[in-house]
Amino acid sequence: MIFKSYSDVFNLLGVKERDELKTNIDFILKNAWGEFPNDFIENHILRSSQIILAVEDDKSVGFCCLSDKKILGKNIIYIEFLVVKKEFQNKNIGSKLVYHLLKKYILKNILSMVFHGPLEIMFITPNIRILTWMARLADFIYPNPYFSDESGSIPIADKNTWEMASELVKMSDNPTRKLNREGLVLENSYASAPWLIYKDKEIPWHHLERFNKFSVKYLGYGNEEDKEFVVRAQIGFLSILKYFLTKV
């Protein structure tokens, strides 16, 4: 499998290359999520700061994109979309896409991390595997399933993380969604697209039961509940060490 990276698509890619990328992303979206409006890809994906495409046997199988945002005075790397074709899901491709996309930022911003502190990353996900992978890499993350007790519970989010997550939701296309402080569980994201809620065979169960218990408690895995996590993570020097030692 190879990974193709794209930056500043509208300024750096020619029309032919941009149309080819748009076609590949549209193919992945239709397979994994269904039909979307014609301008969705152009307005919500191709205008991202960075896009990475996973390709196997000359066929596009998944993509991830991120954007630069400012939230409550902090510069944030926001992971906008992570989509993998159905037949390639539960094969660790999502983690690899995020890994390859973030590594440029980690290496590019080492000096900035020295003088200005860790990189701030935020994303929204219903996938426990993506969350636990990021938790292994990050210096700080909330929600952190590794801190869950026997019942699957974790403490409520700290004030700064709670305020940042709340602001992120307010800035979104659907700002009235309910956000719970414990676990930063976001509800009703898929009210207009209920087919995107995990069905039994689609649930990305973790190989460790403690994380499955955490997912059942907060996301309702197995109950087809419309819930996902808002995640805040920090990537610092410890993260860089983990980055060089971690195999995805």
Domain residue spans of the chain: 1-108, 124-248
Does 215 score more than 60 pLDDT?
yes
Residue 248 tokens read as 């995805």
CATH class of 1-108: alpha beta
Q: Cβ(101)–Cβ(204) under 8 Å? A: no
172: amino acid identity, one letter? S
What mean pLDDT is reported for the chain? 89
Q: How many CB atoms lie within 10 A of CB 82?
A: 22
Phi, psi (5° rounding) for residue 54? -95, 130
Mean pLDDT of 13-25: 91
Q: Cβ(28)–Cβ(83) under 8 Å? A: yes
Q: How many CB atoms lie within 10 A of CB 38?
A: 10
For residue 179, the cross-strand partners are 186
Phi, psi (5° rounding) for residue 59? -120, 135
Strand bridging mode 140-142 / 227-235:
antiparallel
Residue 78 tokens read as 């926001």
Alpha-carbon distance 4 to 96, whole Å?
12
Does 165 score more than 70 pLDDT?
yes
In the chain, the percentage of residues whose pLDDT exceeds 90 is 53
Does residue 91 sit in helix, strand or coil? coil
**pLDDT score recorded for residue 180:** 97
Phi, psi (5° rounding) for residue 213? -65, -40
pTM: 0.88
